[in-house]
Structure 1
Amino acid sequence: MTNVKELPGELTAEEVEEGRRLFAGECDFFYGAQSLEQLPEIGRAEIAFAGRSNVGKSSIINALTNRRALARASSEPGRTKQLNFFNLAGRLTLVDMPGYGFAKAAKAVKEDWQRTMFAYLRGRPTLERVVLLIDGRIGLKKSDREVCELLNKAAVVFQIVLTKCDYLSEAALRARVEEAQAVVAAHAAAYPHVLPTSSTTGLGIPDLRAMMARFAEPASPRQ
């Protein structure tokens, strides 16, 4: 299995510990928005999670926050059409975006998703980064590449995070990372390092927490 510490941009032990402390705090759902008009007021920095339906988004969010059912997967891919906002320790807001790429959805539904999400991405000043989840077993599909283009056009920094990497051999994982790095290199808005993860084994979870902790408000003296 690829050691994420071999990747460029190695995190310090202090950053990893800060990420652990941040995600050890309370994390609660506080708002759901089905349209741009329903978005909550501007507040803390936001990090959004995006990915195709069934990419493992709910599992990653639950693994990060040490919860079993903070984010729930829909039994019907593409059914959820809501931006869900979570308050992490009063220091950072996590945003669970609706999944994309669902095959059964009508073309008009997909286009509506793209318009709404683009407007959110482009117009939300507190949005610091999008964590773009890619199924490590499958690699980037056409819909993933289209979202990369959308994020690049919106000038929103995004980081590709590979999910379900425990299913891959070391050689296969390295090939997936290289494939994703090539996509990253072609987009100015992409964060330069691809992160392999597994919500089952915990691979990459401490690193992802540490990255996100960089955007959190300072902890109060009592925390």
Structure 2
Amino acid sequence: MTGLAEARDEAERDALIEAGRLLFARPCTFFYAAQKSDQLPEPGLPEVAFCGRSNVGKSSLINALTGQKALARVSQTPGRTRQLNFFNLADRLTLVDLPGYGYAKASKDMQRDWQGVMFDYLRGRPNLMRVMLLLDARIETKSADRAAMDLLNTAAVAFQIVLTKADDVGPQKLAARIEEAKALARSHTAAHPLVLVTSSETGLGIPDVRAEIAALAV
């Protein structure tokens, strides 16, 4: 199935949105957690991973997509999530919540441990279909974000930029942030051309993210 960027007309776009709605209306359950590379589950269903800086809103986005308030743990403390969490979506797809990167207050050993397993996963997972790379719409792109894009690009891992917390940004600033994200996507061959703009609070863009992910499901 093609994604929204390839939709030829409004009817095809509506069909993609409906496919996403139907997929995410089905059960999504946590089934595995890994803290080390040798603990990763055997590759199975297609996987879509959520990656981004600490406190960018990964867990909130997963909860909004699935319509569950507490499926993914939302922490007010940046850097709290230190493991890869795997969720089964209707036996058609696996969603993976990756540890946040770029948390400055974490010790170097701690950062190396949880970011090391994350990057090992990104480089070596054969059933990883796409990484949804989350960027905070309210702030500028950080060096850690650019490093993550470069790693994904070098490893030839397909990724798509998703701007989060767009409800907390004025129209002019948001428009500039979208253009910046589009330029970043164009400068990386592994990046999907369509930048998604979301808010877990208002539901903005949630149907679009669902549609993009549904296009990758078996």
Contact kept in structure 2, 1:118 and 1:154, CA below 8 Å:
no
AA matched with 2:37:
L
Structure 1 residue 9, shift from structure 2 partner? 4.7
For the pair 1:200 / 2:195, whether they are aligned, the reply is: no
In structure 2, the partner of 1:123 is: 124
Contact kept in structure 1, 2:35 and 2:114, CA below 8 Å:
no
Structure 1 residue 139, shift from structure 2 partner? 2.9
Contact kept in structure 2, 1:9 and 1:193, CA below 8 Å:
no
In structure 1, the partner of 2:61 is: 60
Decide which moves more: 131-140 or 72-81.
Answer: 72-81
SS at match of 2:132: strand
| TM-score, structure 2 as length reference | 0.92
Gaps of 5+ in 2: none
Which string of whole-angstrom CA distances, capped at 9 and with x for unpartnered residues, describes residues 104-137 of structure 1? Answer: 0123433444432222111111100000010100
Which string of whole-angstrom CA distances, capped at 9 and with x for unpartnered residues, describes residues 42-87 of structure 1? Answer: 1100000011111111111100000001011234321321100000
In structure 1, the partner of 2:181 is: 180
- Please provide the CA RMSD for this pair: 1.5
Structure 1 residue 152, shift from structure 2 partner? 0.9
AA matched with 1:15:
L
SS at match of 1:12: helix
Which string of whole-angstrom CA distances, capped at 9 and with x for unpartnered residues, describes residues 118-172 of structure 1? Answer: 2211111110000001010013111111111111111100100000101122221
Of all paired residues, the percent bearing the same amino acid is 61
For the pair 1:69 / 2:100, whether they are aligned, the reply is: no
In structure 2, the partner of 1:214 is: 215
Aligned ranges 1:81-100 → 2 under 5 Å: 81-100=82-101
Structure 1 residue 93, shift from structure 2 partner? 0.3
Decide which moves more: 14-23 or 132-141.
Answer: 132-141
AA matched with 2:136:
D
Structure 1 residue 210, shift from structure 2 partner? 0.3
Contact kept in structure 1, 2:27 and 2:89, CA below 8 Å:
yes
| TM-score, structure 1 as length reference | 0.90
Gaps of 5+ in 1: 1-6, 218-223
Contact kept in structure 2, 1:64 and 1:209, CA below 8 Å:
yes
Query: How many residues matched?
Result: 211
Decide which moves more: 20-29 or 197-206.
Answer: 197-206
Aligned mates of 1:152, 1:59 — CA distance in 2 = 26
SS at match of 1:61: helix
Query: CA, structure 1 residues 8+86, in 2 after alignment: closer, same or farther (shift >3 Å)?
Result: closer
SS at match of 1:118: helix
Aligned mates of 1:36, 1:110 — CA distance in 2 = 14
SS at match of 2:129: strand
Give the 4+ runs in structure 1 shifted more than 4 A.
7-11
